[in-house]
Amino acid sequence: MKNSIGREIPDELLAGGREIFRGNNHRDGYGYTKAGPKVRAAVKPQESKVVPTLRAAIEACGLRSGMTVSFHHHFRDGDYVVNMVMREIEAMGIRDITIAASSVGSAHDPVAAMIESGVVTGLQTSGIRGRMGEVVSHGKLATPAVIRSHGGRVRAIEMGEVHIDVAFIGAPSCDEFGNARGKGGKSDCGVLSYAMVDAKYADRVVVITDTLVPFPNFPPSIESVDVDCVVVVDEIGNAKKIASQAIRISQDPRELKMASDCARVMAALPYFKDGFSFQTGAGGPSLAVNRFIEPVMRERGIKMKWALGGITKPTVELLERGLIECIVDTQDFDTDAVASVHENRNHYEISTSQYANPMNKGAFVNKLDFAILAALEIDTDFNVNVVTGSDGVLRGAPGGHPDASAGAKCTIIVTPLVRGRIPTVCDRVVTVTTPGESVDVLVTDYGIAVNPSRPDIARALDEARIAHTTIEALRDRAYGMVGVPDEIAFGDHVVAIVEARDGTILDVVWQVEAHDA
Amino acid sequence: MSAEKRSEKNRLRRTMLFLSAQRPSLMKDAYVFGPDSVIFDLEDAVAESEKDAARFSLYHILRRVDYGNVERIVRINGLDTPHWREDVRVCVAGGADGIRIAKCETADDVRAVERAVCEAEAEFGVGQGRTLLMAAIESPRGVLNAVPICESSERLFGVAISGGDFRKCMQTKYYPSGVEMLVARGQILLAARAAGVQCFDTVFTDLDDMEGFRAEVVQNKEMGFDGKSVVNPRQIGIVHEIFTPTAREIREAERVVRAIRENADKGVGIFQLDGKMLDVAFLPGAERTLALAKASGMYEGDL
């Protein structure tokens, strides 16, 4: 059955009550009862929840084959927690596990073998990369992976579509009672926004830390009232990879040109006024937009009220220079962002539900003026793909992309027209991760295109004498340079379901054959 | 594809972006950065062992990539090398708009290249005179010969002072005040204006010092240069911004052009406008202001 963006969704996926995507706001007003965890009360006063080993924690939580475990990805490529827990689970002979992570990445290559051996049979995540992306794309996972945006994951948990049996929450610091924070340890990640929903909705919650601090570890991101046990390990991750050195703005002239053009587009729109709000990706050109809006803000004497999402040094600098009133933070990418959320009283941590859950009573993304984001591919319907490569293999993450772009008044995609021999602007993206209705403007190194659904933006650009063209013209330009790519030879087996934010099916990812390198 | 497009001797050249001919990835689409001209460099940017490969890449870029309104100039190897004649053939065969002669010291240098260009134009059936020339003056002797160099050829659209070698010859180095280049800049500007050709300033290589770059470009504009060679696309915006006339300069230029034309139609040669005496001698300056304004998107009038 075709959904509203023309993607064919196999009927067998709709058997269990799943629905096809019918537009961003189709489920507005939908009523539901929130799920709740099965709680094992800790009535008797106790000194400590610390258990001696990870295995003891897993046993105490009663983890069995067939259950679902969860993880967060605040430690990014520096994470040791997922591999540590999964190796223990494997060693205990437990099988048929579903991993429900906020995201997994190339740090988790060892889990790929557990997918092949059947220890892991389900995967629910935002990102899939590296070896895991390959084995899933090659059809080795027993059930289709479910790919969700950050907001969509929280929604699925709060609505009970994903039930977490045991949440394993890595924390830079934790006290003996389970109050955990993203700071105060050996490898701080700043905030624990992604893990908050896990703590509230999982039946059992295990905090894993390498820095046990005196009670109370306050104010906690993860509260002791939700924590069953605490495990102390040598290292939760590689500090250098958890928070990288200050992410610097690109010096690449092409990225800077696109960032500069993006800032000109922003400055030409009515939303660019005192008190505006803004979210930008951490990638080269979108990040560099921070630098180009600063002089325009100074010239016009305006300030940003709040910046949202994943935070890096350039945003922190705007806060420190008084050009942003506050930062509302769900993830920290570099040491400067981590330091700022610890020290700056105008830099706040929020939960991912507050950030982006489309089915609560209104998330922060809905109040965004601008979202500046990247794309692996964008097609002539302005649908964006950030999850599959040009070979059809899973190698990315929707992250907050679908959330911020659905919420923002103006979403600008900044991307080069071609990457090597790959056209970025194309007839039809391999996989839709953000529907075109969420996307308003495309800025490439070869020109700017406005979504025809936004004639108001096109008029504003005309008035500001900013040249723009059609997305079809940009596609033709790209194809003219690098040629029209051949269709990918997919198999007939669905390896992943891409859920829209509201839980309907936006697209599916088909199996691709492994190529012998 | 644009081999027979007219090259234009007196076009706007605020920025001339250097690109190594050894880097097809740069040459394939550097027009996206919006320089007025690009200079594909076969000389210093290309290793001695790679001259052939660079010519090959350059030829295909010249033939296949549509640079639109961006002028394509090629810096050829010095006349004291075995490379320059083959460089000239590639430029002409590919349809480059112009050739930049490195280390030019005398009018004879320009004429030697001109002869080779004529031969190549005949050889490849390219319109005689299509391939323009510019001379880079890099030595004290070149500076002293600036007048004959500027007057050496009908094809010569301009001269550029090249600071790197010149400063070494003069036993000095870069100073923020520009005092070490003052005489050379002044001399070639005088020669260029006397001969009626364009004049371009040298590159600024410290990409971390954008303030120093800006100061130098301001001085260039104040001295009367037509433009500047740039080594990185990040420098283009600054040059264009500084060389862009202010709104007031544009309004005045528009009034001057209209007044001169209207008075000329009435047969009046000299007249007053806002208390200033004006005659036809003010026309080129005012027209140039409007051309700069148009190129920068600041003027959409009909003049």
The string of pLDDT tens digits covering residues B166-175 is 999 999 999 9
Same domain, B228 and B270: no
Question: Secondary structure of A194-217 in the HEC alphabet?
Answer: HHHHHHHHCCEEEEEECCECCCCC
Q: How many residues are present in chain A?
A: 517
Q: What's at A420, amino acid-wise? A: G
Same domain, B27 and B41: yes
Mapped onto helix, strand or coil, the DSSP state of residue B209 is coil
Contacts 24+ apart (CB under 8 A), B47-54: B47/B22, B50/B22, B51/B77, B51/B83, B53/B22, B54/B20, B54/B21, B54/B22
Tell whether B232 is within 8 A of chain A (Cβ): yes
The pLDDT value recorded for residue B2 is: 42
In this structure, is residue B215 part of a structural domain? yes
Same domain, B168 and B90: yes
Identify the closest residue of chain A to B32 by CA–CA distance: A446
Residue B213 has, within 13 A of its CA and on its CB side, a CA count of: 21
Is residue A342 predicted with pLDDT exceeding 80? Answer: yes
- B235: CB partners within 8 A, 6+ apart: B15, B204, B207, B213
B29·A465 Cβ contact <8 A: no
Identify the closest residue of chain A to B234 by CA–CA distance: A253
Q: What is the DSSP letter of B33?
A: G
- A498 vs chain B: nearest CA distance in angstroms? 35
Give me the domain span that covers residue B166. 15-243
pLDDT in tens, B11-23: 889 999 999 999 9
What residues 18-37 of chain B have any CB closer than 8 A to a CB of chain A?
28-29, 32-33
Mapped onto helix, strand or coil, the DSSP state of residue A231 is strand
Whole-angstrom distance, CA of residue B4 vs CA of residue B2: 6
A404 contacts A279 by C-beta, under 8 angstroms: yes
Identify the closest residue of chain B to A465 by CA–CA distance: B297
- B298 vs chain A: nearest CA distance in angstroms? 10
Same domain, B144 and B233: yes
- Residue A70 tokens, joined: 């969860």
Q: At what angle do helices A284-300 and A313-320 cross, to 10 degrees?
A: 10
pLDDT in tens, B125-139: 999 999 999 999 999
A435 contacts A243 by C-beta, under 8 angstroms: no
In this structure, is residue B33 part of a structural domain? yes
Residue A113 has, within 13 A of its CA and on its CB side, a CA count of: 6
Given CA atoms B296, B300, B302, B303 in this order, what sign does their dihedral have? negative
B32·A254 Cβ contact <8 A: yes
In this structure, is residue B6 part of a structural domain? no
Q: Which residues pair with A51 in a beta bridge?
A: A231
Phi, psi at residue B46, to the nearest 5°?
-110, 125
Is residue A248 predicted with pLDDT exceeding 80? Answer: no
In this structure, is residue B3 part of a structural domain? no
Whole-angstrom distance, CA of residue B30 vs CA of residue A254: 9
- Residue A202 tokens, joined: 């999982």
Q: Which of B28, B33, B297 comes nearest A253 by C-beta?
A: B33
Angle at Cα B232 formed by Cα B43 and Cα B47, nearest 5°? 25
In this structure, is residue B231 part of a structural domain? yes
- A53: CB partners within 8 A, 6+ apart: A231
Helices (H) and strands (E) in chain B, counts: 12, 10
Q: At what angle do helices B182-195 and B210-223 cross, to 10 degrees?
A: 40
Task: Report CA-CA distances (Å) from B182 to B166, B187, B235, B300.
Answer: 12, 8, 22, 36
Q: Which residues of B touch A465 (CB under 8 A)?
A: 297
- B226 vs chain A: nearest CA distance in angstroms? 24
Q: Which of B28, B234, B297 comes nearest A253 by C-beta?
A: B234
Tell whether B234 is within 8 A of chain A (Cβ): yes
Residue A297 vs residue A284, higher pLDDT = A297
pLDDT in tens, A124-140: 999 999 999 999 999 99
The pLDDT value recorded for residue A73 is: 97
- Last residue of some domain: B219, B243, B267? B243
Q: Which residues of A touch B232 (CB under 8 A)?
A: 253
Mean pLDDT throughout A225-242? Answer: 96
Per-residue pLDDT band at B181 (split at 50, 70, 90): very high
Q: Kindly provide the residue ranges of all beta strands, DSSP E only, lying in A427-504, ordered along the sequence.
A: 441-444, 447-450, 490-499
- Other beta carbons within 10 Å of A245: 10
Q: Is residue A11 classed exposed, middle or buried when 0-12, 13-18 and 19+ CB atoms within 10 A define those classes?
A: exposed
The pLDDT value recorded for residue A515 is: 65
A71 contacts A85 by C-beta, under 8 angstroms: yes
Whole-angstrom distance, CA of residue A270 vs CA of residue A276: 10
Domains and CATH numbers, chain A: 49-242 (3.40.1080.10), 253-488 (3.40.1080.10)
- A255 vs chain B: nearest CA distance in angstroms? 10
Residue in A256, A448, A463 to test binding to B, most B beta-carbons within 10 Å: A256
Scan for tokens 């990835």, then name that residue.
Answer: B25
Same domain, B267 and B148: no
Per-residue pLDDT band at B84 (split at 50, 70, 90): very high
Q: Which residues of B touch A483 (CB under 8 A)?
A: none
A54 contacts A84 by C-beta, under 8 angstroms: yes
Q: What is the DSSP letter of A305?
A: E
User: What proportion of chain B, given as a percentage, has pLDDT over 90?
Assistant: 77
A257·B297 Cβ contact <8 A: no
Q: Which residues of A touch B207 (CB under 8 A)?
A: 251
* H-only helix segments in A123-271: 130-137, 150-158, 196-201, 239-242, 253-267
Mapped onto helix, strand or coil, the DSSP state of residue A135 is helix
Q: Which residues of A touch B297 (CB under 8 A)?
A: 465
Residue in A249, A254, A477 to test binding to B, most B beta-carbons within 10 Å: A254
Is residue A385 predicted with pLDDT exceeding 60? Answer: yes
- B28 vs chain A: nearest CA distance in angstroms? 10
A253·B232 Cβ contact <8 A: yes
The pLDDT value recorded for residue B6 is: 63
Same domain, B188 and B274: no
- Last residue of some domain: B209, B226, B243? B243
Enclosing H/E stretch for A472: helix A471-482
Tell whether A251 is within 8 A of chain B (Cβ): yes
Q: At what angle do helices A130-137 and A109-117 cross, to 10 degrees?
A: 30
The pLDDT value recorded for residue A516 is: 55
A411 contacts A403 by C-beta, under 8 angstroms: no
Tell whether A22 is within 8 A of chain B (Cβ): no
The pLDDT value recorded for residue A17 is: 86
Tell whether A291 is within 8 A of chain B (Cβ): no
Q: Which of A251, A257, A481 comes nearest B33 by C-beta?
A: A257
Identify the closest residue of chain B to A421 by CA–CA distance: B25
The pLDDT value recorded for residue B197 is: 96
Indicate the average pLDDT of chain B. Answer: 93
In this structure, is residue B100 part of a structural domain? yes
Per-residue pLDDT band at B269 (split at 50, 70, 90): confident
Is residue A54 predicted with pLDDT exceeding 60? Answer: yes
- Say what the alpha-carbon torsion angle A254, A260, A262, A263 is, to the nearest 10 degrees: 160
Identify the closest residue of chain A to B298 by CA–CA distance: A465
The pLDDT value recorded for residue B3 is: 42
Q: What is the CA radius of gyration of chain B?
A: 20
Same domain, B72 and B121: yes
The pLDDT value recorded for residue A387 is: 96
Mean pLDDT throughout A66-94? Answer: 97
Same domain, B36 and B129: yes
Tell whether A254 is within 8 A of chain B (Cβ): yes
- B72 vs chain A: nearest CA distance in angstroms? 19
Q: What's at B83, amino acid-wise? A: H
Phi, psi at residue A444, to the nearest 5°?
-120, 175
B32·A446 Cβ contact <8 A: yes
The pLDDT value recorded for residue B292 is: 84
User: What proportion of chain A, given as a percentage, has pLDDT over 70?
Assistant: 99
The pLDDT value recorded for residue B5 is: 57
- Other beta carbons within 10 Å of B219: 18
Per-residue pLDDT band at A451 (split at 50, 70, 90): very high
Q: Is residue A162 classed exposed, middle or buried when 0-12, 13-18 and 19+ CB atoms within 10 A define those classes?
A: buried
Is residue B31 predicted with pLDDT exceeding 80? Answer: yes
- B190 vs chain A: nearest CA distance in angstroms? 35
In this structure, is residue B34 part of a structural domain? yes
In this structure, is residue B7 part of a structural domain? no
- Helix, strand, coil content of chain B in percent (nearest 5): 50, 15, 35
Closest CA to B102 of B128, B54, B138, B67: B138
Q: Which residues of B touch A445 (CB under 8 A)?
A: 29, 32
Q: Which of A251, A257, A260 comes nearest B32 by C-beta?
A: A257
Enclosing H/E stretch for A506: strand A505-512
Same domain, B199 and B253: no
B233·A257 Cβ contact <8 A: yes
Scan for tokens 């940009």, then name that residue.
Answer: A474
- B159 vs chain A: nearest CA distance in angstroms? 27
A429 contacts A385 by C-beta, under 8 angstroms: yes
- Residue A77 tokens, joined: 């490529």
Same domain, B280 and B193: no
B32·A256 Cβ contact <8 A: no
What is the DSSP pairing of strand A50-51 with strand A229-232? Answer: parallel
Whole-angstrom distance, CA of residue B143 vs CA of residue B145: 5
Tell whether A46 is within 8 A of chain B (Cβ): no
The pLDDT value recorded for residue A92 is: 98
Whole-angstrom distance, CA of residue A411 vs CA of residue A281: 12
Whole-angstrom distance, CA of residue A215 vs CA of residue A177: 7
A195 contacts A172 by C-beta, under 8 angstroms: no
Highest mean pLDDT among A15-19, A138-142, B275-279: A138-142
pLDDT in tens, B281-302: 888 889 888 888 887 778 887 7
Scan for tokens 């300069």, then name that residue.
Answer: B249
Residue B103 has, within 13 A of its CA and on its CB side, a CA count of: 11
Of A49-63, A101-115, A319-333, B237-251, which range is least confident? Answer: B237-251
The pLDDT value recorded for residue A308 is: 97
Q: At what angle do helices B107-124 and B84-94 cross, to 10 degrees?
A: 50
Q: Which residues of B touch A260 (CB under 8 A)?
A: 237
Whole-angstrom distance, CA of residue A209 vs CA of residue A181: 10
Is residue B4 predicted with pLDDT exceeding 70? Answer: no
CATH at B112: 3.20.20.60
A367 contacts A271 by C-beta, under 8 angstroms: no
How many domains are contained in chain B?
Answer: 2
- Say what the alpha-carbon torsion angle B48, B49, B53, B57 is, to the nearest 10 degrees: -30
pLDDT in tens, A176-193: 999 999 999 999 999 999
Identify the closest residue of chain A to B237 by CA–CA distance: A257
- Other beta carbons within 10 Å of A191: 28
Same domain, B126 and B25: yes
Same domain, B26 and B150: yes
Whole-angstrom distance, CA of residue A252 vs CA of residue A415: 13
